[in-house]
């Protein structure tokens, strides 16, 4: 099982939306079983999941003190392929523990100076844990100068996904009903960008495997 942690010190960076979109997409394209875990006390991901009619992705509830054991059980007892973990909008010892369990950390960033200022501490924690990570632009306008400037600044810290989660009303509307935008309409720009983003995320695991082999044989 691959554990994908979505983390950012900045509130409102679309962590919950990113988890929901990718977990649903993983199931849609046959990469499941996908599970979600909500470690944010605000519980937004759990509320979204409670409104869903679909049985997938499944949600696992586990106390923080048993998170490592719980993740191991998802793989061993439930055959989970991917687990997506939503995190609180703050950096804390709890955040460090969750990141330490990740196979990949996604850091959502909106194209704004405030989001950029908040990135450094998150990146430092991820690097301290020795975990691979990928920045994901959210609520972005691909044609705006601020988006290009944000991508350029982030690229100095680490890899940035080529696919953006655009600033679309469809995302928020779908989340309110316990769905995701691609579920409601499969041939929209939202559906295309999330399908492409998921392929990028999966490719990170292939790249990480290649890097590990190079180090081993180097």
Residue 210 lies in a domain: no
Residue 218 lies in a domain: no
Mean pLDDT for the chain overall: 92
φ/ψ (deg, to 5) at 132: -70, 150
pLDDT tens-digit map of 65-123: 999 999 999 999 999 999 999 999 877 788 899 999 999 999 999 999 988 888 998 99
pLDDT band at 214, cuts 50/70/90?
Answer: very low
Residue 38 lies in a domain: yes
pLDDT tens-digit map of 151-172: 999 999 999 999 999 999 999 9
Residue 97 lies in a domain: yes
Residue 215 lies in a domain: no
pTM reported for the whole predicted model: 0.93
How many structural domains comprise the chain?
Answer: 1
Residue 213 lies in a domain: no
Distance CA 5, CA 200 (A): 15
Task: Domain of residue 30: give its range.
Answer: 2-205
Mean pLDDT of 194-204: 97
Per 3-state DSSP, what percentage of the chain is helix, strand, and coil (rounded to 5)?
A: 50, 15, 35
- What are the residues whose beta carbons fall under 8 Å from the beta carbon of 65, sequence distance 6 or more? none
Distance CA 40, CA 36 (A): 12
The domain spanning residue 167 has which CATH number? Answer: 3.40.50.300
Residue 217 has pLDDT above 60, yes or no: no
């Amino acid at each position: 099982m691959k554990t994908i942690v979505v983390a950012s010190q900045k509130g409102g960076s679309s962590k919950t939306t990113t988890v929901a979109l990718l977990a649903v997409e993983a199931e849609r394209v046959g990469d499941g079983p996908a599970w979600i875990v909500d470690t944010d006390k605000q519980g937004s991901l759990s509320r979204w999941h409670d409104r869903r009619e679909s049985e997938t992705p499944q949600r696992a509830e586990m106390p923080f003190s048993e998170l490592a054991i719980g993740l191991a059980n998802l793989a061993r007892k439930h055959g989970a392929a991917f687990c997506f973990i939503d995190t609180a909008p703050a950096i804390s010892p709890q955040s460090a523990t969750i990141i330490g369990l990740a196979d990949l950390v996604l850091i959502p960033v909106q194209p704004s100076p405030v989001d950029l200022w908040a990135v450094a501490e998150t990146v430092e924690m991820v690097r301290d844990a020795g975990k691979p990570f990928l920045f994901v632009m959210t609520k972005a306008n691909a044609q705006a100068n601020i988006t290009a400037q944000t991508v350029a600044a982030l690229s100095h810290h680490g890899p940035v996904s080529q696919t953006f989660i655009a600033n679309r009303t469809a995302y928020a509307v779908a989340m309110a009903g316990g769905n995701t935008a691609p579920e409601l309409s499969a041939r929209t720009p939202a559906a295309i960008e999330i399908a492409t983003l998921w392929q990028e995320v999966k490719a990170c695991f292939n790249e990480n495997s290649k890097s590990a082999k190079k180090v081993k044989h180097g």
